[in-house]
Amino acid sequence: MENRDDELKWIEEARAGSLDAFSRLVLLHQGRVRGYVGRHVRQVDAADDLAQEVFLDAFKNLRNYRGEVALSQWLYGVARNCVLEHLRSEGRRRIREARSLGTHLLQGRLNRAEEDRGSAEDKERETSALQQCMKSLPPDSARLLEEFYFDQSSAVEMAQRRQWKDSRIRKALLRIRQALRECMDRRLAPEARG
């Protein structure tokens, strides 16, 4: 490991804009930063991306580093901020996505309940219709629903397993929700009751 004088020299050179010096600092600290991020973010690709983001943020803000603490401690502070922001953002996204199917289905149920005044028989029919509609989904669609809503995998995790973009997963889930809503509407239409 290089000595403290080398590190201080590289910091000064990096502050002056030297990418080579900053690369040396990254090589010196990347393992510990990646380890810290990995303890808090379990998805390997997301942790790798965040570790890169830590060093990008550090490079942009290196002028703010005063040397009052070791560079490694300062980098941990940058990493902590990146991890916290990622976890907050991921939590908000998961809540939005998890509510999406439930919101659509509940809104449909609410609308029908308001029309029918929600008898127990109607509720039973809606539940039955939803179960039948879910059984009629193609196997890949059913698997996507199961992973997302029941296994609570994120769209990013699902996309990584399939080597897809997460936007493709989100679009597929949207189409599946629409298909379920249309199927339930057909099964619960007034003429289907007779």
Q: pLDDT per residue over 22-46, tens digit each?
A: 999 999 999 999 998 988 888 888 8
Average predicted confidence (pLDDT) for the chain: 83
- Check pLDDT > 80 for residue 101: no
**Cα torsion angle, 36, 39, 45, 49, sign:** negative
Cα-based distances in Å from 93 to 13, 45, 57, 153? 40, 17, 23, 12
- For 117, phi and psi rounded to 5 degrees? 65, 20
127-182 residue pLDDT tens: 788 888 888 999 999 888 888 877 788 888 899 999 999 899 989 988 998 998 89
- What pTM value is reported for the model? 0.51
pLDDT in the model for residue 148: 83
The domains located in the chain, with CATH, are 4-87 (1.10.1740.10), 119-193 (1.10.10.10)
